[in-house]
Amino acid sequence: MADNQDLPEATVQNILDQESLKWVFVGGKGGVGKTTCSSIISILLARVRSSVLIISTDPAHNLSDAFQQRFTKTPTLVNGFNNLYAMEVDPTVENEDVAGPEGMDNLFSELANAIPGIDEAMSFAEMLKLVQTMDYSCIVFDTAPTGHTLRLLQFPATLEKGLAKMVSLKNKFGGLLSQMTRLFGVDDEFGEDALLGRLESMKEVIEQVNMQFKDPDLTTFVCVCIPEFLSLYETERLVQELTKFEIDTHNIIINQVIFDDEDFQSKLLKARMRMQQKYLDQFYMLYDDFYITKLPLLPEEVTGVEALKAFSSHFLSPYQPSITRGTVEELERKVSTLKQHLSVAEAELEKLLKGN
């Protein structure tokens, strides 16, 4: 799309302006900067909301690294804020998180092995139960890479299957299931009815939240990517799946963009910039009705609250290259750069000649 430069550059201001938003998901392919983007979005939301919680559901937790502060599965106030909290939850079920009477955990373990994905679904339900008891104005999810995120969206269906399987077993085997529960050391009051009740309550929690997820006034999904083929492919797959699940998405953040504001001497950088432009054109063509925010590639990592705050300016106003091509200023800057390179080369040559 040759004329994408004529399109207005988008920011994430629309997310900050949508006061009804309760859930903000940030996701995409691994290694594109999801944690940095979700951290900055939570910081920006904390400026306009009474209280914000950011949750990492990625097994490889990076929130602690991004904020340079240790977080656990309990909401912790982020240093330097009085209304921003963070927590890291393990998407796999833990015994203490689904703790029940002695022997009941064994049944849950067997059930988890019998139905793929139900362990994550149960853990997610427990986490949502906890979150719903808290009074946060907005909750930001720093999600795992795309595949894990899509599984998260399938959790209601997964629990539905688990519940159906348990009901089927109960109807089919009747008293035999009761005998099995006693073999596991579970009393009658904690038998199959307790298991069914547990699954039913989890399913109700997830279904209730899932209804909110499908409400565009309450939920949105921010796709993070980089201008490369695989990331473009993953983003398209993610957008299609979100549409299938009826989850609103209208923001795309393209990270690590090389802008034409330097006098590149490196052929590699020039080639990368041309390659990126090809995929940027495709993003604009595919998602002409999305808010597309481009972020510059930096020479250093963005870690720590101050660095995150500094980088957040690019989320609110489009990045402006420091020079404009075809101007006197650009030519003067180019001449100055060449003089500097020449001066360094002359100094190195003189040093070599003296050495000989």
Contact 87, 55 (CB under 8 A): yes
Quote the CA–CA distance of 47 and 309 in Å, as a whole number: 11
Spatial contact of 313 and 40, defined as CB atoms under 8 Å apart: no
Helices (H) and strands (E) in the chain, counts: 14, 8
Handedness of CA 349, 350, 351, 352 (dihedral sign): positive
- The active-site residue out of 58, 119, 142, 248 is 58
Q: Can you name the residues that pair with 220 across neighbouring β-strands?
A: 24
**Structural tokens at position 90:** 């393990």
The yes-or-no answer on residue 188 being catalytic is no
Which long-range contacts link 65-71 to residues 24+ away (Cβ below 8 Å)? 65/35, 65/303, 66/35, 66/36, 66/39, 66/302, 66/303, 66/308, 67/39, 67/304, 67/305, 67/308, 68/303, 68/304, 68/305
Neighbours of 331 (CB within 10 A): 12
Give me the active site residues, please: 58
